[in-house]
């Protein structure tokens, strides 16, 4: 994409994003997060937003070692009066894992020019048990439902971008890139929109088998960008898990599917 977003004019966008949490199946519990090898960050990049020609600042919260517990950021820029809030957390329990974005709000005032970004970054290393990870499982990643309004003045837009890389590390220390999921959703049709599905695109779509006591690591960065906007994010169970409850635990863990 070659568009120079710094030159774009204001747009009033109201995002409502529902994150369908990233998940996968691990054979042997417990599934542990290796905190020394895991980290998370939230960054509110407001220095590309201008109030009467004056830029905002950059604000961040970082967990350099991370157990997956909730990391939060809440900030109003004193120059632009743009506002950002958000949480990121990661879980590993039994046969599943997940990374969640919650309580996310990003507001850029309509009178401001430029754009505002809210960036979520994470590295989560999951320790596999003696059963390892079976091959052929669908690659799991967050999906989003987006609602809002794009102003009639052109160009105005809403943008979701980013990627997640999936790595397997053997007990011998061999690192393998298992899959890559990318996001590149761009919307500039004037007027309101509701419940549009924003989903990633997987390079492979499945993960290969990982050996006993190896690790599965997710390295991701997801950015929400607006040119004035406001949006929120909540994590909910994946639709596939709800339809498979009646199959019982064995069927759930063997056939859990993601919304594509």
Residue 80 is predicted with a pLDDT of 96
Confidence (pLDDT) at 91 = 80
- What pLDDT does residue 13 have? 45
Q: Return the pLDDT at 31.
A: 61
DSSP output for 173-226: --EEEEEEEEEEEEE--SEEEEEEEEE-EESSSEE--B-TT-EEEEEEEEEEEE
pLDDT in tens, 55-68: 999 999 999 999 99
Q: Identify the DSSP state of 11.
A: -
Instruction: Give the per-residue pLDDT at 161.
Output: 92
pLDDT the model gives residue 226: 81
Please tell me the predicted confidence (pLDDT) of residue 24: 40
Tell me the C-alpha distance between 117 and 12, whole Å: 14
DSSP-assigned letter for residue 24: -
User: What are the residue ranges in the chain where pLDDT is below 50?
Assistant: 1-15, 20-30, 237-260
* Per-residue pLDDT tens over the stretch 31-90: 688 999 999 999 999 999 999 999 999 999 999 999 999 999 999 999 999 999 989 988
């Amino acid at each position: 994409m070659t568009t120079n977003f710094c030159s774009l004019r204001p747009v009033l966008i109201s995002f409502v994003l529902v994150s369908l949490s990233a998940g996968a199946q691990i054979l042997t519990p417990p599934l542990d997060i290796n905190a020394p090898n895991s980290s998370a960050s939230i960054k509110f990049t407001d220095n590309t937003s201008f109030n009467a020609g004056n830029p905002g600042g950059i604000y961040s919260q970082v967990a350099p070692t991370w157990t997956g517990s909730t990391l939060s950021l809440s900030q109003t820029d004193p120059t632009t009066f743009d506002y950002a809030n958000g949480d990121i957390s990661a879980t590993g329990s039994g046969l599943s894992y997940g990374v969640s974005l919650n309580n996310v709000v990003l507001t850029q005032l309509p009178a401001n020019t430029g754009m505002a970004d809210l960036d979520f970054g994470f590295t989560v290393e999951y320790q596999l048990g003696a059963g390892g990870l079976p091959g052929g499982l669908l690659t799991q990643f967050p999906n989003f439902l987006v609602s809002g309004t794009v102003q009639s003045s052109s160009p105005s837009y809403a943008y979701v971008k980013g990627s997640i890389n999936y790595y397997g590390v053997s007990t011998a220390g061999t690192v393998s890139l298992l899959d890559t999921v990318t996001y590149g959703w761009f919307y500039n049709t004037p007027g309101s929109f509701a419940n549009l599905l924003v989903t990633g695109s997987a390079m492979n779509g499945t993960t290969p088998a990982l050996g006993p006591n190896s690790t599965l690591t997710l390295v991701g960065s997801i950015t929400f960008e607006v040119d004035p906007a406001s949006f929120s994010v909540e994590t909910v169970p994946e639709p596939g898990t709800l339809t498979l409850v009646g199959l019982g635990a064995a069927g759930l863990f063997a056939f859990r599917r993601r919304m594509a």
